[in-house]
Structure 1
Amino acid sequence: MELIIKNLSKTYSNGVKALNDISLTVPQGMFGLLGPNGAGKSTLMRTIATLQDADFGTITLNGIDVLKDKQAVRERLGYLPQDFGLYPRINAETMLDHIAQMKGIGNKSERKELVASLLQKVNLFKDRKKGLGTFSGGMRQRFGIAQALVGNPSLIIVDEPTAGLDPSERNRFYNLLSEIGENTIVILSTHIVEDVNTLCSNMAIICMGEVLMQGKPKEGLSIVQGKIYKKAIDKSDLEKYRKDYQVISTKLIEGKLSLRIESDENPGNGFVPTPADLEDVYFSFISKKVDPITI
């Protein structure tokens, strides 16, 4: 089972080129799509989810032409967008039953069994009679996954699913997504590197509508391993360092600016080598397209 995207392009009427000749192969399992805000992630997700058309290119899901046979894709698709509306006064059980009816599950007893099973799966069964408007952010996201799972989809898309979640809710959500990813294609679109590092066996980095890197996280790490150096500097000296070194990221720590650079050889000048992590991979590619100060 795999999703194949070839030469996909999309330009909006205002001239913004959201997707620029994107090609990706997404295998079964958790696939992380990393990129800053405005990179084109949501446009790509909406296109795969058949919510908008591309200008050029193709998408196939197990031989199904996604852009032409939209109904066939929708029957196999679960989608959790970044922002999804809920009817605040309707309880979780009733809403999920309604969604199951909309997905063609007509038998009442079958729906009842399915709804109970899904609410158990996302740990919301005890809250099934509560109005959705009373749910916390983590509960809302777990309900979103439950509705995405209706119909046993072979492709699930989740767009920025952990934004706004506290650490305990994020951890529960990680566990849930990992379990789902064992038997289906799950595309996780996010700008949070930790999400991909924790969950995904395959990934891609996109920026300004272009694919900058795709492969396994460890393959990305092999590109920058042994090339990352760090140094604490005064913030006022940043511009000078940017002129002399390939700065990939900065972080203010206790009044000092922690500078991370990429270099093929030891730069000296007080820089010390440091083990690379997935965040370095991300910033290494993104900083070549976007000013690292603004990332």
Structure 2
Amino acid sequence: MAMLEITPLRYFLSAYETGSISRAAQVNAVSQPSVSAAIQRLERELGGSLFLRSRRGLVTTPLGEQLYREAAPSVTHLADLSTRLRPHPRQRLRIYCHPDVLLSPFSVPLQALVRRRQELLPEFCDQAEVCDIACVAESCAPSGYAFLPLWEEGYGVALPAGHRLAQAGVLRPEDIAAEPRIHRPYCPKADVLHEVEAGRGMPPPHGAAAVNDQQVLDLVAAGLGIALVPLRHAGCHPGVAVRPLTEVPEVRRTVGLAYRKTVLAREIAAELAAEAKE
């Protein structure tokens, strides 16, 4: 049997780690047919299937699991060879932060990580499917990634710090029925309050739309509306107060770190999690 080439193996590792042919193509900056052809070539050379296709993505066969265990250390070692041979080697760490997660709780752990691992070159990306580490709620973790939970939280109402309701202990939907809303269309939980209000015959909310939660807090502080946000956002903006909301179904989420199934990503996620919990 001929020696297996490193490029098809690299495409195979990416497909295994991301759980998707299309995402493997994105990670390697090649076309999807190129990845599919490379995996098919490996399957012919090895005499068996490496993946089974399902609606949820790729399912690795026993042969695929064995190939990953055997090939991953060598391919990773060779792929990083040019970086290690440079006078000051740096290793990219691609980080994604979902729009409904604030980066501030991760800032100190990231700073500690960079001081400790000076070989890392962190960079933020705008696509979860190509990152190494993602700061996300569990329901938003990219397909094929492992998830390390950090905390669980509920939701409340974000109001300007000087708002007449900012000092209230808890709020009811009726208290905020006339307030304009800052829409958070990227959040899976965003429609819960709207559904409750609609069921009570309240008028639909109106107001600005945001692209991430940091912008939400800025818009709330500017007096352009209120928003349903995670309770841990309290204290993250000096111009915003967050108050619990009663008489609505309880909504909760688990926030943590999603990471690609690579040795580096797993190690970094564990280090960041340990720092974040201290």
TM surpasses 0.5: no
Structure 1 or 2: more helix by fraction: 2
Name the TM-score, length of structure 2 as normaliser: 0.28
Structure 1 or 2: more strand by fraction: 1
Name the TM-score, length of structure 1 as normaliser: 0.27
Q: Which has the larger radius of gyration?
A: 2
